[in-house]
Structure 1
Amino acid sequence: MRSQEPPVDSGRWRLDALDGERRARSEFQERTAGRRQHWVDANPYYYGKVARLLRHIIEPGCSVLHLRCETGYFLDAVAPGRGIGVEISPAMVAVAAKAYPHLEFVCSEPQDYAGQGPFDYVLCSNISDTPDVLALLENAARQCGPRSRLILYSYNYLWQPLLEWASRRGRRAPVMEPNWLSIEDLQCFLNLAGFELIRTFRVVLLPKKIPLLSEFANRVLAWIPGLSSLCMTSVLVARPVPRPRPVGDISVSVIVPCKNEEGNIAAAVARIPEMGRGTEIIFCDDKSTDETLRAVEQAIRDNPRRNIRLVHGPGVCKAHNVWCGFRAATGEALMILDADLAVMPEELPYFLNALAAGSGDLINGSRMVYPIANNAMKFLNFMGNKGFSFLFSLLFGHYIKDTLCGTKVLWREDFKRIESLIGAWGVEDLWGDYDLLFGATKRSLVIHDLPVHYQERISGVTKMRRVFWNGLRMLRMLLAAWRKLRLEYY
C-alpha cells in the first residue's frame, strides 16, 4: 500500500513564504522603531565612521534614494539635493520624517518601490535583513541612470557571532538577520542584477571608541591587506553595466595642447582621423614664442572642411592649457593628444571605441606595454613612470600601468564632475594627468588602460625637463591625494 504524501503547505513552501518573512520584519520594526535612534546615539563613533565614508563617496547636492533607510541618519549625513528614504514600517517612516523633515520618506518594501528616478546614487542598507536581495537590487537598477552609482552597506559576515551575541545581551539593537553575505556573495547578486562592481571599501576594525587605540586600529591597521578583511563594515560601489553606444552617434573633441610646436601642427591635422559623428580639433596655444600660432592659423585656412579651432592658453602650465580646451570643447567625448605626436594620432579611434563600449569612464593611454622607440623616453623618465604607476596602484587600489601618458579620453559630462576637484589635492598638478586620475577615483569612475605605441617626436624638443624636481613634485601629489582619498574616511 502506498504511503500517503503529506499535503503541501503553499504558504510555507512557496513564494508566499517570503511575504510572510517581510510581514514579520515589518511588524518587528513597527514595535522597535521608537528605540532605533537610541542605538545610533549610543554608538556615535561607529555611525560617524560610516557616515564619513558615505560622504566621501556621494557628491553633496545630488539626488539620493536610500532603500532601507531606518531613521534617515545616513541619508541626511550625505547632504542630498533631493533625498528619498524607503522603509518597511509606518512607525519607522514616522520617526525618520520627524527627525529630518527636509527629506522625503516612503513606506514600501524596497523591491516594490516605484520612484521618480533616475537617481544619481542609490544606497542600499540592511542587506542582511532583506529576504530577497536579488529582487531589491533589480528594483535598484530600475532607479538608476547610465551614470548612477549603487552603494551597498553591509556587515562583514565574520562578525556574525559577535554581533548576534551583542544583540542578545542588549548591547546592540535587536534585529532579524536572515542573510550573512560575503563580498563574493554580494558581487554575485550585483552581477545578476545588471551591475558591475567598481570598488570595495572595508572600514571599522574597532567599532567602539577607545582613546588612541581605536584610531590606530581604524586608520592604520584597517588599511593593511589581510587585516582589512576583518573590518566590521563593507561598502560596495557599483555601476549599471553600460550599454554600448554606436560610435557614429558620438561627437568628438580632440584637445591638442601645444607650446612651441610649430613643426607638428600640420602633421597633427593630417594624421588625426575623423571620428564619430564629427571631430573638432582644438589647438590650445600656450603663449608659444615660435611660429606655432601662425601654423595653427595656416592649418585652419588649408583645411576648410575640417573643424579646427584655436584656443589661447594662459601660459601657466600644460594642465591649465588643457582645461581651457576642455571648457571650450563641444564634443561629447574629450580626447587629449600631445602636440609632439609621440602617441600615434591614428590610434585615437581605439580610445573612442573603448569609451563607447563602456569599457571605462576614463580611458588612459599606456606606453608601457609595447616596445618604446629609441630615444622616445629617457631612462630616468621611464623608471619614474614605472615607479609612480606602481605607487598609484598600491595607494588607490586601481591598477594603472602608466599614469603619465598624455593621451586620455573621457566623457565631457564626467569632466564636469571632476572639474570641481581640480587643484583640491594639496599640491598643484602642472600636467593634468593626476587631476584626472584622482578626480575619476573620487567620483567612482572606472579607469581603463589602453596600450599605445610610443614613438620619438619628429619636431621640437620635450617639455619634460628637470626630471628630479618634477619627480619630487609628483611624489608629493601622490601622497597628498592619498591623504585625502584614503585617510579622509578611515
Structure 2
Amino acid sequence: MFFIMTISNRKKQYIETVEKNITKITQYTIFNRTFRHNDRKFHKFLVEPDLNVLVVGIGNGDLLASLNPAVGVGIDISQKMVEFAAKKYQSLNFIHHDIDNKIDILKHPIVGKQKFDVVILSDQIGLCDDIQKTFENIQALCHSNTRLIISYYTKHWEWLLKLAEAVGLKVKQPEQNLLSTTDIEKIAELSGFEVIRKEYRQFIPFPLLGLDIVFNKFFGTLPGFRRLCLRTYVVARPHQTHEKKPYSATVVIPCRNEKGNIESAIKRLPQFCDNIEIIYVEGHSKDGTWEEVLRVKEAYPDLNIKAFQQTGKGKADAVHLAFSKATGDVFMILDADLTVPPEQLPKFYQVISSGQGDFVNGTRLIYPMEDQAMRFLNFLANKTFSWLFSYLLSQRFTDTLCGTKVFLGSDYKRIMKQREFFGDFDPFGDFELIFGASKLNMKVVEVPIRYQARSYGETQISRFRHGVILLRMVVHAYKKLKFSV
C-alpha cells in the first residue's frame, strides 16, 4: 500500500465522502442494483477471462472479481475502500494509490513489474485533475496490445444525478469533470491512445416495473436513442509505432469449380515477405479443380504449396481446415475467383506487420468496378449489410462480404473461442471472423481494392437464398451484440 503525499482538495473531499458513506456505497440497494449488475455484465462482455486486468476505481471490488482475471489489480485513492475490497476478495490485489502519481506506482512490486492486457478507468476520469497526464501514466502500464476501457456517465445525465443526490438516492459527490464521448476520445488521442469503439448502455438504470429491461435492451441500443443512455464506454489501444515486423504468412485459397484460376493465383501472387505458405483447399469440384491443384503444386516445387480436400461443405469449413494446417504468423484469405487481385495482398500484409490494424478487411465499394464485376442487387445487399454491421459492431464496415480478410494466427485462435458466445451460425465464415474480432476489440482496417470481373467460372453465391441466411445472421448478431448485453 502507498501513502498518498499530495492530492487536490477535490480528491480529499471525495475520499472524505466515500469513507464517511462506505457502508452505503458498497451495499446494493433497489435503486443501484440494476445499474451495477448491467455495468459488470457489459464490462465482462468487453473483457476476455484469464487476462491481466487493472481496474482504477474499484468500488466494492465486484467489478474486478467478475472479470475472472489471471492477475487482477485494483487501485483506489480511498484507503477504506481498498481495505473493504481486499477483505472481500483476498485472491486479488488492491492498492491504495492515486493513478496520477506515476513515479510511485511504477515502484510497486506488483504493478511496477506488470504490463496489463486490460486497464479499466471506472468513473475515475471525472476526478482526474489532469486527464491527459493520467492517460500518459497508464501508458507505462500497457503493452502494444493493451485495451484501455473508460467507463463514465454521459454528461446530459448530470442534472438527474444531482437530483438523485438531493433526494438521498445517491451519495453526494464533489464536482466532476463534464466530458462528452468526443472529449474523452480527443484527450485519449493526445495521450497516445487510439479509440477503437464507443458504446452506450443503460437507457433506464433503475428498476421500473420491468420496463427498464425493454428500454435497455431495445431502445437503448438503437441509433439515436443510445446517445441518451447513462453509461458511456470508450475502448482504446496504445498508438502503434508502425515499425514493420518480419512476419511469415499463410495465404489460404478456398476453391470450388475454379480450375481456370488455380495457376493464375500463384503466378500473380507477389513475394511480399520472406516466408509465404500457400494452402489450397478444394471442395467437391466438378471441373477438375483438385487435379489442377495437384498439377500446380508439382509444377512449382520452389513454392511452399500445400493442398487439402475438405470433407465438409462451404467456404467456412474450407477456411477452418486450412487454418488448422497453417504455420504462418499472418493468416490471409484469397478467394479463388480472383475478383480481388492477388497483387493487392501486400497492402493487407503491410497493415498487420506495421501494427496499423489487427483485422484487415477488403472493401470493393470504393473504386469503380469493371462491368459485371458485381451485380446491382449484390451491390445493394453489400451496402445494406455494411450499414447494419457498422451499427452492430461499432466500427466502420463498407464491405462485410469481401472475402479477403487478414489477421494474425494468434488472433484467429482467440476469435475461434468466441464461438462459445456466438454459436456456430455462419456458413460463409466471414461473419464469425468479423463478429469475433469486434468482440475482442480488435482494430479493424479496411483496404480499398479494385474488384474485377471473373475471367473463369460462375459465382458460387445464390443471391436470394444466401440473402435470407445473411438476414438471419444480422438478427443473430443483434441479439448477441446488442440485445443480450
- Aligned letter for 2:476? A
Q: How do 1:453-464 and structure 2 match up within 5 A?
A: 453-464=450-461
Identical residues among aligned pairs (%) = 34
Aligned counterparts of 1:41 and 1:131: Cα–Cα separation in 2: 33
Provide the C-alpha distance between the structure 2 equivalents of 1:272 and 1:452, rounded to a whole number of angstroms. Answer: 15
Say whether 1:370 aligns with 2:360: no
1:232 maps to a residue whose letter is L
Residue from 172, 179, 185 that aligns with 2:177: 179
Q: Partner of 2:27: helix, strand, or coil? A: helix
Letter in 2 for 1:255: V
Q: Secondary structure at the match of 1:200?
A: strand
User: What TM-score results when the alignment is normalised by the length of structure 2?
Assistant: 0.91
Distance 1:455 1:31 in 2: 69
| Residue 55 (structure 1) aligned with residue 44 (structure 2) | yes
Residue 78 of structure 2 aligns with an amino acid whose one-letter code is S
> Do structure 1's residue 351 and structure 2's residue 348 form an aligned pair?
yes
Q: Which runs of 4+ in 1 moved over 6 A?
A: none
* Structure 2 CA distance for aligned equivalents of residues 379 and 220 of structure 1: 33
Would the aligned equivalents of 2:31 and 2:206 in 1 still touch at CA under 8 Å?
A: no
1:430 is displaced (CA, Å) by: 1.5
Residue 218 of structure 1 deviates from its aligned partner by 2.0
Q: Give the alignment of 1:242-281 within 5 angstroms.
A: 242-246=240-244, 249-281=246-278
Per mean C-alpha deviation after superposition, the further-off stretch among 413-422 and 390-399 is 390-399
Look up the SS of the partner of 1:381 in the other structure. Answer: helix
Separation in structure 1 between the aligned mates of residue 163 and residue 178 of structure 2, nearest angstrom: 15
Compared CA separation, residues 56 and 173, structure 1 to 2 (3 A): same
Q: How many Å apart are 1:291 and its aligned residue?
A: 3.0
Change (3 A) 1:23 1:280: same
Please name the residue that 2:65 is paired with: 76
**Cα distance in 2, alignment partners of residues 222 and 295 from structure 1:** 54
Structure 1 residues without counterparts, runs of 5 or longer: 1-15
Equivalent residue number for residue 205 of structure 1:
203
User: More deviation in 228-237 or 287-296?
Assistant: 287-296
Q: Which residue of 2 aligns with 1:130?
A: 128
Give the number of aligned pairs.
472
What whole-Å deviation, never above 9, does each CA across 1:168-205 have from its counterpart, x for those lacking one? 43221233344222222211221122111111112222
Q: Indicate conservation of the 8 Å contact 1:34/1:92, yes or no.
A: no
What are the Cα deviations for residues 379-427 of structure 1, in whole angstroms up to 9, with x where unaligned? 3323322222232224433332211111111122221111112485456
Partner secondary structure for residue 486 of structure 1: helix
CA–CA distance in structure 2, aligned partners of residues 69 and 149 of structure 1: 18
Letter in 1 for 2:480: K
Contact 2:370 2:451 in 1 (8 A): yes
Give the aligned partner of residue 146 of structure 1. 144
Question: What is the letter of the counterpart of residue 201 of structure 1?
Answer: E
Tell me, yes or no, if the aligned pair for 1:34 and 1:95 is still in contact at 8 Å: no
Mapping of residues 11-410 of structure 1, within 5 Å? 18-19=7-8, 21-38=10-27, 43-111=32-100, 112=102, 113-114=105-106, 115=111, 116-125=113-122, 126-246=124-244, 249-410=246-407
CA-CA distance at 1:475 after TM superposition:
0.6
Q: Which stretch shifts more, 126-135 or 193-202?
A: 126-135
* Superposition deviation, residue 481 in structure 1: 0.8
Which AA in structure 2 matches 1:64?
A: V
Verify: 1:476 aligned to 2:465, yes or no. Answer: no
Contact 1:287-1:315 at 8 Å conserved across structures: no
TM-score (norm 1): 0.90
SS at match of 2:64: helix
Contact 1:252 1:275 in 2 (8 A): no
Query: Which of 413, 416, 419 is residue 416 of structure 1 equivalent to?
Result: 413
- Does structure 1 conserve the Cα–Cα contact (< 8 Å) formed by 2:13 and 2:174? no
- Retained in 2: the 8 A contact 1:281–1:308? yes
Q: Counterpart of 1:403 in structure 2: which amino acid?
A: T
**Contact 1:68-1:110 at 8 Å conserved across structures:** no
Contact 1:396 1:482 in 2 (8 A): no
Q: State the SS of the aligned residue for 1:246.
A: coil
1:63–1:119 contact (8 Å) kept in structure 2 = yes
CA displacement at 1:154 relative to structure 2:
0.9
Q: Partners in 2 of 1:83 and 1:355 — Cα distance?
A: 30
Structure-1 separation of matches of 2:186 and 2:94: 30
- The code of the aligned residue for 1:331 comes to G
Asked whether the equivalents of residues 131 and 178 of structure 1 are also in contact (C-alpha less than 8 Å), the reply is no
Residue 56 of structure 1 deviates from its aligned partner by 1.2
Q: Distance in 2 between matches of 1:20 and 1:175?
A: 13
How has the CA–CA distance of structure 1 residues 174 and 370 changed in structure 2, closer, same or farther, with 3 Å as cutoff?
Answer: same
Q: Which amino acid aligns with 2:217?
A: R
Q: For the structure 1 residues 177 and 414, does the alpha-carbon distance in structure 2 shift closer, same or farther, using more than 3 Å as the test? A: farther
